[in-house]
Amino acid sequence: MTTQNLILITGGTGKTGRRIVQRLQQQNIPVRIGSRSANPPFDWENEATWTPALKDVLTAYIAYQPDIAIPGAVDTIQKFVDKAVASGVQRLVLLSGRGEPEAQLCETIVAKSGVAWTVVSASFFAQNFSEGFVLESIQSGEVVLPTTTMAEPFIDVDDIADVATAALIEDGHSGKIYEVTGPRLLTFKEAVEEISRAVGRQIQYVSVPVEAYTQGAKDVGVPDAIVWLMEYLFTTVMDGRNAYLGDGVQQALGRKARDFSEYVQQVAQTGIWNNS
């Protein structure tokens, strides 16, 4: 890979995408940010934006928004991969989700694309507690989530970005499926308790039936796609199928994944979890 090869990062302003962009820019590697606000713009829901965004691109990172499990994602990924390969893309790196049948179909699409490919199959993002839908709840002192006793090996998004960046610019990752997780299992209740200890104040964890949770989300105006996704995660994906550790970070980078406690300590120091 030379620095003359342009890399497209779809979801370029999202949790993983912006971190990958930062890593590539630090290495002076030409990168195109794929987002609706970029020039040229990229919008998963507007196929007309894809061709301009793919111009002169040899490598692409695929991070479907809002999630690869959303109905219709498989067809969209198929169309995008076909267009990318036809435009001259030679390497694809797909952000996938563990235990999601739709995600696995998308993995197959990439694997059958005829170009070099890598899949980064990730567990639940640790950063959802600081950059996602749980943040405001932590700030308020009460985290309400659908009832589940399943444990999850929360993955630090910085680890995802490191793995994906390596797959985008280094040889030796083609044909690999990296299952990236944190190094230990935690329930959501345990995760919130760990955050509570780090910030030095009580954060109450409240579990409610998933039906009540989704109805409450709808009542406050959460988009339907996100409501569907939360229901899907807590009724299907969180059924125990993912309650084990993966070693994708070790495979790809030769080091251990960051522990949830390291993430918590780093975020706690920023003050973002303080009362809003």
Compute CA distances 255 → 233, 249, 261, whole Å.
29, 7, 17
Identify whether the C-beta of residue 146 lies closer than 8 Å to the C-beta of residue 187.
no
State how far the Cα of 247 lies from the Cα of 255, in Å rounded to an integer.
10
Mean pLDDT rounded to a whole number for the chain: 94
State how far the Cα of 67 lies from the Cα of 100, in Å rounded to an integer.
10
Q: Which residues of 235-249 are buried (b: 16+ CB within 10 A; e: fewer)?
A: eebbeeebbeebebb
236 part of a folded domain:
no
Compute CA distances 245 → 33, 156, 184, whole Å.
32, 14, 7
187 part of a folded domain:
no
* Domain CATH number, residue 98: 3.40.50.720
42 part of a folded domain:
yes
Most confident of the following: 39-43, 222-226, 228-232: 39-43
Tell whether the model's pLDDT for residue 217 goes beyond 60.
yes
List 121's β-bridge partners, or say none: 96, 179
Specify the pLDDT at position 1. 37
- Once rounded to an integer, what is the mean pLDDT over residues 234-249? 92
Specify the pLDDT at position 261. 98
209 part of a folded domain:
no
Q: Which domain holds residue 109?
A: 6-124+155-182+244-258
State how far the Cα of 268 lies from the Cα of 2, in Å rounded to an integer.
39
Kindly report, residue by residue over 119-135, the tens digit of the pLDDT: 999 999 999 999 988 99
Identify whether the C-beta of residue 55 lies closer than 8 Å to the C-beta of residue 87.
yes
Kindly report, residue by residue over 149-207, the tens digit of the pLDDT: 899 999 999 999 999 999 999 999 999 999 999 999 999 999 999 999 999 999 999 99
- Once rounded to an integer, what is the mean pLDDT over residues 249-266? 98
22 part of a folded domain:
yes
The confidence band for 276, taking pLDDT boundaries of 50, 70 and 90, is low
Query: What percentage of the chain has pLDDT greater than the value 90?
Result: 82
Q: Which two tokens stand for residue 89?
A: 């893309």
DSSP 162-181: HHHHHHHHSSS-TTEEEEE-
The tally of domains found in the chain comes to 1
pTM of the model: 0.94
- Once rounded to an integer, what is the mean pLDDT over residues 233-253? 93
Identify whether the C-beta of residue 48 lies closer than 8 Å to the C-beta of residue 42.
no
46 part of a folded domain:
yes
Is the dihedral angle over the CA atoms 82, 85, 89, 95 positive or is it negative? Answer: positive
State how far the Cα of 120 lies from the Cα of 62, in Å rounded to an integer.
10
211 part of a folded domain:
no
Tell whether the model's pLDDT for residue 3 goes beyond 70.
no
Kindly report which listed range (42-46, 114-118, 148-152) carries the lowest average pLDDT score: 148-152
Identify whether the C-beta of residue 64 lies closer than 8 Å to the C-beta of residue 11.
yes
Tell whether the model's pLDDT for residue 144 goes beyond 70.
yes
Kindly report, residue by residue over 54-108, the tens digit of the pLDDT: 999 999 999 999 889 888 999 999 999 999 999 999 999 999 999 889 999 999 9
Q: Which two tokens stand for residue 94?
A: 């797909």
In the block, residue with structure tokens 């820019």: 25
Q: What is the DSSP letter of 6?
A: E
Tell whether the model's pLDDT for residue 4 goes beyond 80.
no
168 part of a folded domain:
yes
Specify the pLDDT at position 226. 82
Compute CA distances 243 → 152, 185, 246, whole Å.
6, 7, 10
